[in-house]
Chains A and B, each alone.
Chain A
Amino acid sequence: MSYLKIDHVDKTFTRGAQATEVLADITVGIEKGEYVSIIGHSGCGKSTLLNIVAGLTPVTAGGVLLENKEVNDPGPDRAVVFQNHSLLPWLTVYENVRLAVDKVFSATKARRERHAWTMHNLELVQMAHAKDQRPMEISGGMKQRVGLARALAMEPKVLLLDEPFGALDALTRAHLQDSVMAIHAQLKNTVLMITHDVDEAVLLSDRIVMMTNGPAARIGEMLTVPLARPRRRLELAADPAYIKSRQRVIEFLYARHKAPALQAAE
């Protein structure tokens, strides 16, 4: 039995009399320490799937099991790094992380330990230098780092990344991807990431889950990325296994399951 299991999940949104089936019979198992990406065209429901795992959206049928226990509501054991960082603008960088630390470890860690743990996580994402700044005073990439620190500080069983680099420029994104790889290598987190970037998926993941287009999106294919870790961006660019994995994802996304808008254009 997998560590995290998304078990035959269906999701239908109803508005008045109109019902839209978004996800149909999604089953994914994720092992402990595994890095799994979900890729698909925008609008296919991959963010809905992540929200279901996070407990922010209820399922219509099926369920999510973490360590063989069903999870229905949100909690710090499934910390989310949101696409738009979602830092609280009235708190400093330190206070944003500290809020999570105080909440999760109020019973188990003393005040001094909680401070040390907050600083430790800020150092992990290289943001300790900006601890007294407010979110509006730092760049987009830095905000995402703080969001990551906040999630890591909860010591989640599963780290959920909702297109965490989607709003960043290419250079900042690459930098942040390297940071995430380094942290994953160090902490061995179980990660579920939503992305629409093929290179990002291949570079970071152990396994890529490819989703078909909605409505009623399902899992089209799963690909295990046969690349040893640590992975280096530069060396991989010419690696045959990397190129092959990349090709398979591109083929899936652009040949067999084209975006609805692209199909219409032809």
Chain B
Amino acid sequence: MNMPMLKAEAVAAIPVRSAGADVVRLKVPTSGSVLSRVLPALSSVAVRVIPPLVTLALLLLFWQLLCNRPGSTLPAPTKIWTEARDLIVDPFFVAGPQDIGLGWRVLTSLQRVAIGYGLAGVIGIMLGTIIGQSVWAMRGLDPIFQVLRTISPLAWLPISLAAFRDSQPSAIFVIFITSVWPIIINTAVGIRNIPQDYRNVALVLRLNPIEFFTKIMVPSAAPFIFTGLRIGIGLSWLAIVAAEMLTGGVGIGFFIWDAWNSSRIPDIVVALVYIGGVGFVLDRLVALTATVVTRGTSAN
């Protein structure tokens, strides 16, 4: 929660002694000039933006010093800039069927993640709701989920290939199976944590199961569900490289695999920056959706 900043002039009170009576008059804070309002806002932005920029510059400098020596195995930032410039400056160029900008590759990967994560969201919330309703389902399934959720996307890959015998559905399955567990578990916990008070209200009002689901259960569990969704989107984006190792084509994950096979290390570094950036944006998008949707829910 951001507290409004105290204006400097509001603090300065000037006592005025009028004749005959002890009246202390406080100076009324006047709304200052545009500058006095803009400056604090600017400084609060600067406080947040400058430290990470400084850190980044220092890291780049350190990296440059470390990798600029002759015989270094990894490329220095300047070398990446000269060798992978086309990838950095223009994300959306098309120079041939396999020679396209990283922006296009990211979009292809996002499409895959959207399908896998979408499925994980729908099925995860449904399963979580059912499991959260029943103590025995929770007791029976929770330990199994806790074990399954620790299995890495790479480990699921052969199993999924064996099951689907086709690369496209296997890739989507890998994304799905990686991200579904936290959604199930968090939804179940959210459903179990619906306060008895809300259940009593539903009972007195005689809400039917569908009304109970939409009017009490979903809003009450929403903060938990969104926690699961947020962990899930992070995991599904983590799975993209593993998933695309087998699909080939134009995804960002396959690009890394391909660049490694043809020893284009600077390209890999640029792709890593892209993956990190997109992952960050995805996480923030889900977090933003959560604050909009659950407004007022979590506070009680």
Q: How does the 8 Å CB contact mask read for B205-244 relative to A, with 1 for contact and 0 for none? A: 1110001000110011010000000000000000000000
B206 and A103 form a contact (CB under 8 A): yes
Pick from A80, A89, A90, A135: contact of B204, CB under 8 Å: A80
Q: Determine if B285 is an interface residue (Cβ-Cβ < 8 Å).
A: no
A88 and B216 form a contact (CB under 8 A): yes
Which residues of B have CB within 8 Å of A73?
203
Which residues of B have CB within 8 Å of A29?
none
Which residues of B have CB within 8 Å of A76?
204-206
B197 and A86 form a contact (CB under 8 A): yes
Which residues of B have CB within 8 Å of A152?
none
Q: Determine if A252 is an interface residue (Cβ-Cβ < 8 Å).
A: no
Interface residues on A, range: 20 to 34
Q: How far is the CA of A86 from the CA of B199 in the complex (A)?
A: 10
Pick from B200, B204, B300: contact of A75, CB under 8 Å: B204
Q: How does the 8 Å CB contact mask read for B31-63 relative to A, with 1 for contact and 0 for none? A: 000000000000000000000000000000000
B198 and A88 form a contact (CB under 8 A): yes
Given contacts A76-B205, A99-B205, A104-B205, contact A82 B200 (CB under 8 A): yes
Q: How far is the CA of A259 from the CA of B219 in the complex (A)?
A: 41
B200 and A86 form a contact (CB under 8 A): yes
A56 and B299 form a contact (CB under 8 A): no
Closest to B219 in A: A90
Q: How far is the CA of A154 from the CA of B203 in the complex (A)?
A: 13
**Min CB–CB distance A95 → chain B (angstroms):** 10
B296 and A136 form a contact (CB under 8 A): yes
Given contacts A82-B197, A134-B296, contact A88 B219 (CB under 8 A): yes
Pick the most buried of B198, B216, B295, B296: most chain A CB atoms within 10 A of its CB.
Answer: B296
B299 and A136 form a contact (CB under 8 A): yes
Which residues of A have CB within 8 Å of B206?
74-76, 103
Q: Determine if A84 is an interface residue (Cβ-Cβ < 8 Å).
A: yes
Which residues of A have CB within 8 Å of B216?
88
Q: Determine if A193 is an interface residue (Cβ-Cβ < 8 Å).
A: no
Q: Determine if B111 is an interface residue (Cβ-Cβ < 8 Å).
A: no
**Min CB–CB distance B205 → chain A (angstroms):** 5
Which residues of B have CB within 8 Å of A75?
204, 206
Which residues of A have CB within 8 Å of B299?
89, 136
Q: Determine if B289 is an interface residue (Cβ-Cβ < 8 Å).
A: no
Closest to A83 in B: B197
Which residues of B have CB within 8 Å of A89?
296-297, 299-300
CB under 8 Å from chain B, chain A span 45-104: 54-56, 73-76, 78-80, 82, 84, 86, 88-90, 99-100, 103-104
Q: Determine if B141 is an interface residue (Cβ-Cβ < 8 Å).
A: no
Pick from B197, B204, B222: contact of A54, CB under 8 Å: B204
A135 and B200 form a contact (CB under 8 A): no
A74 and B204 form a contact (CB under 8 A): yes
B215 and A99 form a contact (CB under 8 A): yes
Q: How far is the CA of A135 from the CA of B207 in the complex (A)?
A: 21
Q: How far is the CA of A136 from the CA of B297 in the complex (A)?
A: 9
**Min CB–CB distance B31 → chain A (angstroms):** 25
Q: How far is the CA of A80 from the CA of B198 in the complex (A)?
A: 12
Which residues of B have CB within 8 Å of A134?
296
Q: Determine if B201 is an interface residue (Cβ-Cβ < 8 Å).
A: yes
A103 and B205 form a contact (CB under 8 A): yes
Pick the most buried of B200, B201, B211, B222: most chain A CB atoms within 10 A of its CB.
Answer: B201
Which residues of B have CB within 8 Å of A56?
200, 203-204
Closest to A86 in B: B197
A90 and B297 form a contact (CB under 8 A): yes
Q: How far is the CA of A99 from the CA of B198 in the complex (A)?
A: 13
Which residues of A have CB within 8 Å of B222?
90
**Min CB–CB distance A133 → chain B (angstroms):** 10
CB under 8 Å from chain B, chain A span 97-140: 99-100, 103-104, 134-136
Closest to B206 in A: A75
Q: A75-B204, A82-B201 are in contact. List 20 more A-B contacts (CB 8 A).
A: A54-B204, A56-B204, A73-B203, A74-B200, A78-B204, A80-B200, A80-B204, A82-B200, A84-B197, A88-B201, A89-B297, A90-B294, A90-B295, A90-B297, A99-B215, A100-B205, A103-B206, A103-B211, A136-B300, A154-B204
Please report B residues at the A interface, Cβ cutoff 8 Å. Answer: 197-198, 200-201, 203-207, 211, 215-216, 219-220, 222, 294-297, 299-300
Q: List 5 A-B contacts (CB under 8 A).
A: A74-B200, A86-B201, A89-B296, A135-B300, A136-B299
Please report A residues at the B interface, Cβ cutoff 8 Å. Answer: 54-56, 73-76, 78-80, 82, 84, 86, 88-90, 99-100, 103-104, 134-136, 154
